[in-house]
Amino acid sequence: MGLLAEQRTSESLVAAARATVGLHRRPPTIVMESGSGAYLFDRAGNRYLDFFAGASVSSLGHGHSSLRAALHDQLDRLVHVGPIFTSGPEVLLLERLVSLSFADRVTFANSGSEANEAAIKLARRYQSRVRRESRRDTIVALGGSFHGRSLATLAASGRPAHCDGFEPLPAGFTQVPRDDLNALAETVDDRSCAVMIEPIQGESGVHPIMPELLAEARRLCDEHGIALIFDEVQCGVGRLGTLWAYESVGVVPDIATWSKGIGGGLVLGVMAASERFAQGFAPGSHGSTFAGNPLSCRAGLVVLDVLTTPGFLEQVRQSGERLRAGLDRLAERHPLIGPARGRGLMLGVPVVGRQAGRVVEAARQRGLLINSAGAETLRLLPPLIIGETEIDEALDRLNAAIESVE
């Protein structure tokens, strides 16, 4: 048997794919082979316009020339040093993240879940070791959140379907309804150590959190001396048309997590904190063998270079407006869908009759990759480099997909 996928038949690859357990349901016969810009190509030669970007990850699209050149160069130099030593790309990325954001200190991770775990640990340890408030251990999160699939982040999200059968989950997490300011104010108390929020919820169906609730969360955290954590794993890193999601919503957190788009496809997570809360960790409080990997950090540097190129984020905002306007025109034409929610290039389209899955499948058959967040929302997360022609092409294909379902 060949080691390269190219040396194998499609049938044998599809058969081998059955060995996975418990992960997402995937279209069983599609094996992706290559990508270029906003397009993906499968083994059978089909071409797809990628409006999901591997769940908000491929921010620069596929095969971006600067990313490829930097990764080739880094491959020739150094791929791993482990947690005891640092490397040039890691140090440069630390410096860049601190200079570009509210953060004074950064810890790297290998995924969004892991970055959120670090945030939860930091918020707790700040209370127990710096303030000596050992009773303050509870994270207050919002209903509908998705913070990851590790046990603590499952407990933070509180989504019954994701927790099913994995009990007991770690204690010290509670959720309040997404838009209920009073419930938030009543719940944050002398047992709380943090309020944890996705500024725009992704998995729940692209729900922006009300500005009033974000402001109230900031006020409550200041009043109690606890951390406001923004999980920007999906909505951060340029996706909303600002570098960080907190810049779009006008509330600055104490701790933020970034992942997905920051590696442009490489495995990279970031937990960023203000100096005050960073005191919660001493050397050795936290660690991760692969975190800060030179290859991933090199990718992060390229992504930040591209995103901070003058005019790039303005272009993301304009692309977002074009896409939203087009989606809203579709909504006027098709009773199956409603007006888009979200911001920048993170848009959700409500679908009546729990038909989102059917539209996603019909779109895929027409060469457009989108995703459903639940049965009632289409989620569009194109690469940030998307152009006008591709947006118009996606809208045409989506229109045809919706017509086929109606």
Residues engaged in binding ligand PLP (CB under 6 A): 55, 111-113, 116, 146-148, 198, 202-203, 231, 233-234, 259
Q: Which residues pair with 231 in a beta bridge?
A: 257
**Please, what is the minimum distance in Å from the beta carbon of residue 97 to ligand PLP?**
18
Least gap, CB of 203 to ligand PLP (angstroms) = 6
- Cβ closest to ligand PLP, residue 74 vs residue 157: 157
C-beta neighbour count of 150 within 10 angstroms: 17
In the complex, minimum distance from the CB of residue 144 to ligand PLP, in angstroms, rounded to a whole number: 11
Nearer CB in complex with ligand PLP: 57/278: 57
| Residue of this chain nearest to ligand PLP (CB atom) | 112
**CB nearer to ligand PLP: pick between 57 and 313:** 57
- Taking the complex as a whole, how short is the minimal distance between the CB of residue 113 and ligand PLP, in angstroms? 3
CA distance linking residue 313 with residue 41, whole number of Å? 27
- Residue (59 or 111) nearer to ligand PLP, CB: 111
- Choose between 206 and 386: whose C-beta lies nearer to ligand PLP: 206
Find the shortest distance in angstroms from Cβ 89 to ligand PLP.
20
Closer to ligand PLP by CB, 202 or 264: give it. 202
Shortest distance (Å) from residue 148 CB to ligand PLP: 4
- Provide the CB-side half-sphere exposure for 239 (13 A, CA): 34
End-to-end CA gap in the chain: 45
CB nearer to ligand PLP: give 268 or 391: 268
- Quick one: CA torsion of 262, 265, 269, 270, rounded to 10 degrees? -20
Least gap, CB of 232 to ligand PLP (angstroms) = 8
Nearest-approach distance from CB 212 to ligand PLP, in angstroms: 21
Hey, what are 261's tokens? 């788009």
Q: Which of 142, 132, 252, 124 is nearest to 202 (CA)?
A: 142
Rounded CA separation 75/327 (Å): 41
Nearer to ligand PLP, 216 or 231 (CB): 231
- Smallest separation (angstroms) from ligand PLP to the CB of 198: 5
Nearer to ligand PLP, 101 or 157 (CB): 157
